[in-house]
Amino acid sequence: MKKLLVSALVIFASSAAASAALAQDAEAGKASFNKCLACHAIGEDAKNKVGPELNGLDGRKSGTVPDYNYSDANKNSGITWNEAAFKEYIKDPRAKVPGTKMAFAGIKKEQEVNDLWAFVSQYDKDGKIKAK
């Protein structure tokens, strides 16, 4: 009985650790966003740069930020940004949207992608962090 209990605890602890490893961490995503800062802004004072500002990305149609000159490929991509679309795009932007102006090699590490989504998706369209 003791062996069974210990085995169950080990399995539970292992699965909890694996789940925690895949959990999204907005603070880690903030650090990862430093890779994006040269081209994108987010937050209350965000303005378009080389790329569009990213406030309210979750649920926004691609190519719709006012006063940003999108490529036709991006405007016509049919993407409505959500977690799945973002994660696929950020891994290889040019593969997801051939012809995009985004000259970024992508982020390949799943944990970093998860964390970056946690950071970006917490902002509403006004650049305020959404209430939890």
Mean pLDDT throughout 106-116?
98
Tens of pLDDT, residue by residue over 47-91, are 999 999 999 999 999 999 999 999 999 999 999 999 999 999 999
Is residue 109 situated within a structural domain? yes
Kindly state whether residue 126 falls inside one of the protein's structural domains. no
- Inside any domain, residue 12: no
Q: How confident is the model at residue 132 (pLDDT cuts 50, 70, 90)?
A: confident
CATH of the domain at 93: 1.10.760.10
Number of independent structural domains in the chain: 1
pLDDT in tens, 93-108: 999 999 999 999 999 9
* Inter-axis angle of helices 110-120 and 2-22, nearest 10: 60
What is the per-residue pLDDT for 64?
Answer: 97
Question: Is residue 62 a part of any domain in this protein?
Answer: yes
7-44 confidence digits (pLDDT tens): 444 444 444 444 444 589 999 999 999 999 999 999 99
pLDDT at 1: 54
- Decide if 112 is inside a domain: yes
CA–chain centroid gap for 105, Å, is 15
Give the CA distances from residue 111 to residues 24, 32, 96, in Å, rounded to whole numbers and listed in that order: 7, 11, 20
Concatenated DSSP letters of 15-54: HHHHHHHHS--HHHHHHHGGGTTTT---STT----SS---
Q: Is residue 19 part of a domain?
A: no
Residue 6 lies in a domain: no
**115, 24 Cβ separation under 8 angstroms:** yes
Residue whose entry in the numeric block shows the structure tokens 């989504």? 117
State how far the Cα of 120 lies from the Cα of 114, in Å rounded to an integer: 10
Residue 92 reports pLDDT greater than 50: yes
pTM: 0.82
Confidence at residue 103, expressed as pLDDT on a 0 to 100 scale = 93
Note down the domain range covering 97: 25-120
DSSP 69-130: ---HHHHTS--B--HHHHHHHHH-HHHHSTT-S--------HHHHHHHHHHHTTB-TTSPBP
In the three-class reduction of DSSP (H, G, I as helix; E, B as strand; rest coil), residue 66 is classed as coil
Taking 50 as the threshold, does the pLDDT of residue 115 lie above it? yes
pLDDT score recorded for residue 89: 98
